[in-house]
Amino acid sequence: MGFLIGEIFFFLVAAAVLGGILGWVLRGSIRNRPVRSDARRHPSIQTTPDPQRAPQAPRRVHGQTDDLKRIHGIGPKLERVLNELGITTYAQIARLSESEIQQLADGIGSFPDRIHRDDWIGGARREYMVKYGRPIQ
C-alpha cells in the first residue's frame, strides 16, 4: 500500500514539473509571437481608411482635438482611422448627416450600422456637454 501511495505521489510531482516546464516554454513562444489582428481573420474588415470613399470632413481647428475613445464603440485603432480622415472632435461626429454617416461607414470599412448601433452621435453630444459644459449648437 505504501508503494502505491509513493508511486502516485511521484507521478503527481512529475506531472506538475512537466506542466510547469511546458507552460513556461509555451508562454515564452506566445509572448514573442506577433499579435494577429481581426483584419487577417476577417478580410471584410478594413483597417485602413479608403480616401476615395471617405467623407470630406472639415479640418480641425489648430490644436483642438478630443479623446474620441470616450465615445462607446470607438477604440484606439478606430480613433486613429478617424483622425486620418480629419475627424478629431466630438462636434464633427455630432454634426454628421445621414449621407456623411454612410460615407464614413464605407470609408472606415466598419459594419454599416455600427455608427447607429453604438450611437456615436449621441455619445459625441454627451461627451461634448461633459467637456465643454454646453450643448452643441
pLDDT tens per residue across span 40-78:
444 444 555 555 554 454 444 446 889 999 999 899 998
Q: Kindly state whether residues 25 and 47 are assigned to the same domain.
A: no
Residues 29 and 47 in one domain: no
- Model pLDDT for residues 102-129, shown as the tens digit of each residue: 888 887 776 668 888 999 999 999 999 9
Domain extent, residue 59, equals: 42-132
Q: State whether 18 and 49 are in the same domain.
A: no
Answer left, alpha or beta for residue 67, where phi above 0 means left and psi between -120 and 50 means alpha. beta
Average pLDDT over every residue of 3-16 = 90
Three-state secondary-structure class, residue 20? helix
Cα-Cα-Cα-Cα torsion 116, 118, 122, 128, nearest 10 degrees, comes to -130
Q: Could you tell me if 80 and 128 lie in one domain?
A: yes
Q: What is the Cα–Cα distance from 56 to 41, expressed in whole angstroms? A: 30
Q: Do 128 and 61 sit in the same domain of this protein? A: yes
**What local confidence, expressed as pLDDT, does residue 103 receive?**
87
Cβ-proximal residues to 59 (8 Å cutoff; 6+ apart), any chain: 86
Is the same domain home to 78 and 107? yes
Alpha helix segments (H runs only) across 32-135:
38-41, 76-84, 90-94, 98-108, 114-117, 120-132
Is the CB of residue 123 less than 8 Å from the CB of residue 71?
yes
Whether residue 27 is predicted with pLDDT greater than 80 in this model: the reply is no
